[in-house]
Structure 1
Amino acid sequence: MRWLKTVKLTAVEPVPTDILKGQDVGTRAVVAIPEFCSPMPDQPAESTAALPEDGDDLCCDLPHAHPDGAGDRPPQEILNSEKAQRMAEFLGFLADPNRLRLLSILAQQEMCVGDLAVSLGMNESAVSHQLRTLRAIRLVSSRKQGRHVFYRLQDHHVLDFYQAVLEHLDEPDA
Protein backbone atom coordinates (compact mmCIF):
# COMPACT_ATOMS: atom_id res chain seq x y z
CA MET A 1 0.00 0.00 0.00
CA ARG A 2 1.33 3.47 -0.90
CA TRP A 3 1.11 6.18 1.72
CA LEU A 4 1.11 9.62 0.20
CA LYS A 5 -0.49 12.03 2.63
CA THR A 6 -3.38 12.34 5.04
CA VAL A 7 -6.52 14.31 4.37
CA LYS A 8 -8.13 16.63 6.92
CA LEU A 9 -11.86 16.17 7.23
CA THR A 10 -14.31 17.82 9.57
CA ALA A 11 -16.29 15.12 11.31
CA VAL A 12 -20.02 15.61 11.59
CA GLU A 13 -19.94 14.32 15.17
CA PRO A 14 -17.13 14.74 17.71
CA VAL A 15 -14.43 12.13 17.30
CA PRO A 16 -14.11 9.88 20.39
CA THR A 17 -11.06 10.97 22.36
CA ASP A 18 -10.01 7.37 23.09
CA ILE A 19 -9.36 6.87 19.36
CA LEU A 20 -7.20 9.98 19.38
CA LYS A 21 -5.21 8.73 22.38
CA GLY A 22 -6.81 11.24 24.75
CA GLN A 23 -5.92 14.34 22.76
CA ASP A 24 -8.76 16.83 22.58
CA VAL A 25 -9.01 18.00 19.00
CA GLY A 26 -12.70 18.87 19.04
CA THR A 27 -14.51 17.93 15.88
CA ARG A 28 -11.50 18.46 13.62
CA ALA A 29 -9.41 15.33 13.02
CA VAL A 30 -7.17 13.79 10.45
CA VAL A 31 -9.11 10.87 9.02
CA ALA A 32 -7.51 8.40 6.70
CA ILE A 33 -9.58 6.27 4.34
CA PRO A 34 -8.19 3.82 1.79
CA GLU A 35 -9.47 4.40 -1.74
CA PHE A 36 -10.79 0.83 -1.97
CA CYS A 37 -12.80 0.97 1.31
CA SER A 38 -16.24 2.25 2.05
CA PRO A 39 -16.74 4.91 4.76
CA MET A 40 -16.15 3.86 8.35
CA PRO A 41 -19.31 2.54 10.01
CA ASP A 42 -19.49 5.40 12.52
CA GLN A 43 -18.81 8.09 9.89
CA PRO A 44 -21.46 9.39 7.49
CA ALA A 45 -20.86 8.73 3.79
CA GLU A 46 -20.55 12.44 3.03
CA SER A 47 -17.39 12.63 5.16
CA THR A 48 -15.53 10.98 2.27
CA ALA A 49 -16.57 13.69 -0.17
CA ALA A 50 -13.43 15.67 0.63
CA LEU A 51 -11.22 12.93 -0.82
CA PRO A 52 -9.81 13.77 -4.25
CA GLU A 53 -11.35 12.03 -7.23
CA ASP A 54 -7.99 10.87 -8.59
CA GLY A 55 -7.49 8.39 -5.71
CA ASP A 56 -4.12 9.94 -4.90
CA ASP A 57 -4.63 9.73 -1.13
CA LEU A 58 -4.34 6.24 0.37
CA CYS A 59 -4.51 5.87 4.14
CA CYS A 60 -5.67 3.57 6.91
CA ASP A 61 -9.29 3.34 8.06
CA LEU A 62 -8.70 4.52 11.65
CA PRO A 63 -9.05 8.19 12.53
CA HIS A 64 -5.97 9.75 14.06
CA ALA A 65 -4.60 13.21 14.65
CA HIS A 66 -1.23 14.85 14.83
CA PRO A 67 -1.51 17.96 17.00
CA ASP A 68 1.80 19.28 15.68
CA GLY A 69 0.65 18.80 12.09
CA ALA A 70 3.32 16.15 11.37
CA GLY A 71 0.92 14.03 9.33
CA ASP A 72 -0.21 16.96 7.22
CA ARG A 73 2.86 16.95 4.97
CA PRO A 74 4.07 14.10 2.78
CA PRO A 75 7.71 13.08 3.31
CA GLN A 76 10.11 15.13 1.22
CA GLU A 77 12.13 12.17 0.05
CA ILE A 78 11.12 8.51 -0.04
CA LEU A 79 13.64 5.83 -0.88
CA ASN A 80 12.82 4.49 -4.34
CA SER A 81 12.07 0.78 -4.74
CA GLU A 82 15.18 -0.02 -6.75
CA LYS A 83 17.53 1.52 -4.20
CA ALA A 84 15.61 -0.12 -1.33
CA GLN A 85 16.07 -3.49 -3.04
CA ARG A 86 19.81 -2.86 -3.51
CA MET A 87 20.16 -1.83 0.14
CA ALA A 88 18.30 -4.95 1.30
CA GLU A 89 20.62 -7.15 -0.76
CA PHE A 90 23.68 -5.31 0.55
CA LEU A 91 22.57 -5.66 4.17
CA GLY A 92 21.72 -9.31 3.50
CA PHE A 93 25.38 -9.94 2.70
CA LEU A 94 26.23 -8.66 6.17
CA ALA A 95 23.80 -11.07 7.82
CA ASP A 96 26.53 -13.66 8.24
CA PRO A 97 28.44 -14.02 11.52
CA ASN A 98 31.68 -15.06 9.79
CA ARG A 99 31.64 -11.99 7.55
CA LEU A 100 30.99 -9.76 10.54
CA ARG A 101 33.88 -11.36 12.43
CA LEU A 102 36.10 -10.72 9.41
CA LEU A 103 35.01 -7.09 9.37
CA SER A 104 35.74 -6.81 13.09
CA ILE A 105 39.37 -7.76 12.46
CA LEU A 106 39.72 -5.61 9.36
CA ALA A 107 38.27 -2.65 11.27
CA GLN A 108 41.44 -2.79 13.37
CA GLN A 109 44.13 -3.65 10.82
CA GLU A 110 44.76 -5.12 7.41
CA MET A 111 45.66 -8.81 7.26
CA CYS A 112 46.44 -11.58 4.82
CA VAL A 113 44.19 -14.62 4.36
CA GLY A 114 46.46 -16.92 6.38
CA ASP A 115 46.49 -14.62 9.41
CA LEU A 116 42.74 -14.05 9.15
CA ALA A 117 42.17 -17.82 9.05
CA VAL A 118 44.26 -18.36 12.19
CA SER A 119 42.59 -15.45 14.02
CA LEU A 120 39.10 -16.70 13.17
CA GLY A 121 39.78 -20.41 13.61
CA MET A 122 38.65 -21.07 10.02
CA ASN A 123 40.42 -22.66 7.07
CA GLU A 124 41.94 -20.41 4.41
CA SER A 125 39.49 -21.57 1.76
CA ALA A 126 36.48 -20.49 3.85
CA VAL A 127 38.10 -17.13 4.63
CA SER A 128 38.91 -16.58 0.94
CA HIS A 129 35.30 -17.34 0.03
CA GLN A 130 34.00 -14.78 2.55
CA LEU A 131 36.53 -12.19 1.38
CA ARG A 132 35.44 -12.69 -2.25
CA THR A 133 31.87 -11.94 -1.20
CA LEU A 134 32.93 -8.86 0.77
CA ARG A 135 35.02 -7.63 -2.17
CA ALA A 136 32.08 -8.12 -4.55
CA ILE A 137 29.98 -5.70 -2.52
CA ARG A 138 32.94 -3.34 -2.10
CA LEU A 139 33.30 -3.65 1.66
CA VAL A 140 36.92 -4.77 1.53
CA SER A 141 39.80 -4.09 -0.82
CA SER A 142 43.17 -5.74 -1.20
CA ARG A 143 46.76 -4.99 -2.02
CA LYS A 144 49.42 -7.42 -3.11
CA GLN A 145 52.83 -7.51 -1.48
CA GLY A 146 55.06 -10.22 -2.89
CA ARG A 147 53.16 -13.50 -2.66
CA HIS A 148 50.77 -12.21 -0.01
CA VAL A 149 47.49 -10.39 -0.50
CA PHE A 150 46.49 -8.08 2.34
CA TYR A 151 42.85 -7.16 2.92
CA ARG A 152 41.47 -4.02 4.54
CA LEU A 153 38.16 -2.19 4.79
CA GLN A 154 37.34 -0.43 1.54
CA ASP A 155 36.97 3.08 2.99
CA HIS A 156 35.93 5.08 6.03
CA HIS A 157 32.20 4.60 5.25
CA VAL A 158 32.50 0.89 5.96
CA LEU A 159 34.31 1.56 9.25
CA ASP A 160 31.77 4.25 10.22
CA PHE A 161 28.88 1.88 9.45
CA TYR A 162 30.49 -0.95 11.41
CA GLN A 163 31.15 1.30 14.42
CA ALA A 164 27.62 2.77 14.30
CA VAL A 165 26.09 -0.72 14.45
CA LEU A 166 28.36 -1.65 17.38
CA GLU A 167 27.39 1.52 19.26
CA HIS A 168 23.71 0.88 18.59
CA LEU A 169 23.95 -2.66 19.96
CA ASP A 170 25.76 -1.41 23.08
CA GLU A 171 23.06 1.17 23.90
CA PRO A 172 20.95 0.28 26.93
CA ASP A 173 17.32 -0.59 26.28
CA ALA A 174 15.03 2.36 26.83
Structure 2
Amino acid sequence: MTDTLFPDDIYQLAKRVVEENAAAGRKIVMAESCTGGLVASAITEIAGSSAVLDRSYVTYSNEAKQSDLGVPLDILEAFGAVSVATAFAMAQGALERSDADVAVAISGIAGPGGGSERKPVGTVVFARAIRGEAEPTADERLFEGENRAGVRRQATLCALELLLP
Protein backbone atom coordinates (compact mmCIF):
# COMPACT_ATOMS: atom_id res chain seq x y z
CA MET A 1 0.00 0.00 0.00
CA THR A 2 1.34 3.38 -0.98
CA ASP A 3 1.08 6.53 1.10
CA THR A 4 -1.57 8.28 -0.99
CA LEU A 5 -5.03 9.80 -0.86
CA PHE A 6 -6.15 7.64 -3.78
CA PRO A 7 -7.09 3.99 -4.25
CA ASP A 8 -4.25 1.89 -5.60
CA ASP A 9 -5.68 1.55 -9.13
CA ILE A 10 -5.90 5.32 -9.59
CA TYR A 11 -2.49 5.87 -7.99
CA GLN A 12 -0.79 3.25 -10.17
CA LEU A 13 -2.37 4.60 -13.35
CA ALA A 14 -1.40 8.18 -12.44
CA LYS A 15 2.14 6.93 -11.83
CA ARG A 16 2.21 5.43 -15.33
CA VAL A 17 0.89 8.70 -16.77
CA VAL A 18 3.69 10.67 -15.13
CA GLU A 19 6.44 8.18 -15.96
CA GLU A 20 5.41 7.56 -19.57
CA ASN A 21 4.75 11.20 -20.41
CA ALA A 22 8.04 12.24 -18.79
CA ALA A 23 9.86 9.61 -20.86
CA ALA A 24 8.11 10.88 -24.00
CA GLY A 25 8.91 14.52 -23.11
CA ARG A 26 5.20 15.39 -23.14
CA LYS A 27 3.39 18.00 -21.07
CA ILE A 28 -0.30 17.58 -20.26
CA VAL A 29 -3.21 19.85 -19.40
CA MET A 30 -6.56 18.90 -17.90
CA ALA A 31 -10.00 20.47 -18.37
CA GLU A 32 -12.27 18.89 -15.76
CA SER A 33 -15.90 19.39 -14.91
CA CYS A 34 -17.65 16.50 -13.13
CA THR A 35 -14.37 15.18 -11.70
CA GLY A 36 -13.66 18.53 -10.06
CA GLY A 37 -9.88 18.24 -10.27
CA LEU A 38 -9.55 14.58 -9.28
CA VAL A 39 -7.45 13.73 -12.33
CA ALA A 40 -4.98 16.55 -11.75
CA SER A 41 -4.91 15.71 -8.05
CA ALA A 42 -4.10 12.07 -8.78
CA ILE A 43 -1.28 13.15 -11.09
CA THR A 44 0.18 15.49 -8.47
CA GLU A 45 0.25 12.61 -5.96
CA ILE A 46 3.19 11.33 -7.99
CA ALA A 47 6.69 12.60 -7.32
CA GLY A 48 8.04 14.20 -10.47
CA SER A 49 4.62 15.24 -11.76
CA SER A 50 5.84 18.82 -12.23
CA ALA A 51 7.81 17.59 -15.25
CA VAL A 52 4.55 16.52 -16.88
CA LEU A 53 1.55 18.55 -15.66
CA ASP A 54 1.51 22.03 -17.19
CA ARG A 55 -1.79 23.12 -15.65
CA SER A 56 -5.35 22.09 -14.94
CA TYR A 57 -8.70 23.80 -15.30
CA VAL A 58 -11.74 22.96 -13.19
CA THR A 59 -14.59 24.49 -15.15
CA TYR A 60 -17.67 23.27 -13.37
CA SER A 61 -20.09 25.96 -14.54
CA ASN A 62 -20.97 26.81 -18.12
CA GLU A 63 -19.69 30.33 -17.46
CA ALA A 64 -16.28 28.94 -16.47
CA LYS A 65 -16.19 26.75 -19.57
CA GLN A 66 -16.78 29.88 -21.64
CA SER A 67 -14.43 32.30 -19.85
CA ASP A 68 -11.56 29.96 -18.97
CA LEU A 69 -11.58 27.63 -21.99
CA GLY A 70 -13.37 29.64 -24.68
CA VAL A 71 -16.23 27.17 -25.14
CA PRO A 72 -18.71 29.00 -27.40
CA LEU A 73 -22.11 29.76 -25.89
CA ASP A 74 -23.84 28.41 -29.01
CA ILE A 75 -22.26 24.97 -28.43
CA LEU A 76 -23.40 24.93 -24.80
CA GLU A 77 -26.91 26.05 -25.77
CA ALA A 78 -27.26 23.65 -28.69
CA PHE A 79 -25.68 20.52 -27.22
CA GLY A 80 -25.39 21.10 -23.48
CA ALA A 81 -22.40 20.90 -21.14
CA VAL A 82 -22.37 17.11 -21.32
CA SER A 83 -21.78 16.64 -25.03
CA VAL A 84 -19.03 15.60 -27.39
CA ALA A 85 -19.06 19.11 -28.90
CA THR A 86 -18.48 20.73 -25.50
CA ALA A 87 -15.75 18.24 -24.58
CA PHE A 88 -14.04 18.95 -27.94
CA ALA A 89 -14.16 22.68 -27.25
CA MET A 90 -12.91 22.22 -23.68
CA ALA A 91 -9.93 20.12 -24.80
CA GLN A 92 -9.05 22.50 -27.64
CA GLY A 93 -9.38 25.53 -25.36
CA ALA A 94 -7.16 23.97 -22.69
CA LEU A 95 -4.52 23.10 -25.27
CA GLU A 96 -4.58 26.60 -26.79
CA ARG A 97 -4.22 28.23 -23.35
CA SER A 98 -1.31 26.08 -22.20
CA ASP A 99 2.17 24.94 -23.09
CA ALA A 100 1.02 21.32 -23.07
CA ASP A 101 1.30 18.76 -25.85
CA VAL A 102 -1.91 16.91 -24.94
CA ALA A 103 -5.18 17.97 -23.33
CA VAL A 104 -7.91 15.80 -21.88
CA ALA A 105 -11.37 17.18 -21.10
CA ILE A 106 -14.13 15.59 -19.03
CA SER A 107 -17.76 16.61 -18.56
CA GLY A 108 -20.52 14.48 -17.16
CA ILE A 109 -23.52 13.86 -14.96
CA ALA A 110 -22.32 12.29 -11.71
CA GLY A 111 -25.73 12.40 -10.02
CA PRO A 112 -27.70 11.72 -8.06
CA GLY A 113 -29.78 14.33 -9.93
CA GLY A 114 -29.31 16.13 -13.21
CA GLY A 115 -29.91 13.22 -15.54
CA SER A 116 -32.55 12.91 -18.25
CA GLU A 117 -33.82 10.17 -20.53
CA ARG A 118 -31.38 11.30 -23.23
CA LYS A 119 -28.50 11.86 -20.82
CA PRO A 120 -28.94 9.68 -17.75
CA VAL A 121 -26.89 9.95 -14.57
CA GLY A 122 -23.56 8.30 -15.27
CA THR A 123 -23.15 9.86 -18.74
CA VAL A 124 -19.62 11.21 -19.10
CA VAL A 125 -17.93 12.61 -22.21
CA PHE A 126 -14.20 12.76 -22.78
CA ALA A 127 -12.08 14.47 -25.40
CA ARG A 128 -8.36 14.43 -26.09
CA ALA A 129 -6.56 17.04 -28.18
CA ILE A 130 -2.94 16.66 -29.24
CA ARG A 131 -0.95 19.65 -30.39
CA GLY A 132 -0.43 19.52 -34.14
CA GLU A 133 -3.37 17.20 -34.81
CA ALA A 134 -6.33 18.67 -36.67
CA GLU A 135 -9.21 17.36 -34.57
CA PRO A 136 -9.59 16.16 -31.01
CA THR A 137 -10.95 12.66 -30.42
CA ALA A 138 -13.96 12.11 -28.18
CA ASP A 139 -15.90 9.37 -26.49
CA GLU A 140 -19.08 9.12 -24.46
CA ARG A 141 -19.45 6.57 -21.68
CA LEU A 142 -22.33 5.53 -19.48
CA PHE A 143 -21.24 4.36 -16.05
CA GLU A 144 -24.48 2.61 -15.09
CA GLY A 145 -25.19 1.42 -11.59
CA GLU A 146 -22.66 3.78 -10.02
CA ASN A 147 -23.32 6.35 -7.33
CA ARG A 148 -21.79 9.85 -7.56
CA ALA A 149 -18.44 8.71 -6.18
CA GLY A 150 -18.40 5.72 -8.51
CA VAL A 151 -19.08 7.83 -11.60
CA ARG A 152 -16.32 10.26 -10.66
CA ARG A 153 -13.92 7.40 -9.91
CA GLN A 154 -14.59 5.69 -13.25
CA ALA A 155 -14.27 9.01 -15.08
CA THR A 156 -10.92 9.66 -13.40
CA LEU A 157 -9.60 6.26 -14.47
CA CYS A 158 -10.84 6.82 -18.03
CA ALA A 159 -9.20 10.25 -18.25
CA LEU A 160 -5.90 8.91 -16.91
CA GLU A 161 -5.92 6.22 -19.60
CA LEU A 162 -6.42 8.91 -22.24
CA LEU A 163 -3.28 10.65 -20.98
CA LEU A 164 -1.04 7.67 -21.71
CA PRO A 165 1.17 8.17 -24.78
Q: TM-score range by the shorter chain?
A: under 0.3
Q: Which has the higher strand share?
A: 2
Q: Please give the TM-score of this superposition, normalised by the length of structure 2.
A: 0.23
Q: Identify which of structures 1 and 2 has the higher relative contact order when contacts are C-alpha pairs closer than 8 Å and 6+ apart.
A: 2
Q: Please give the TM-score of this superposition, normalised by the length of structure 1.
A: 0.22
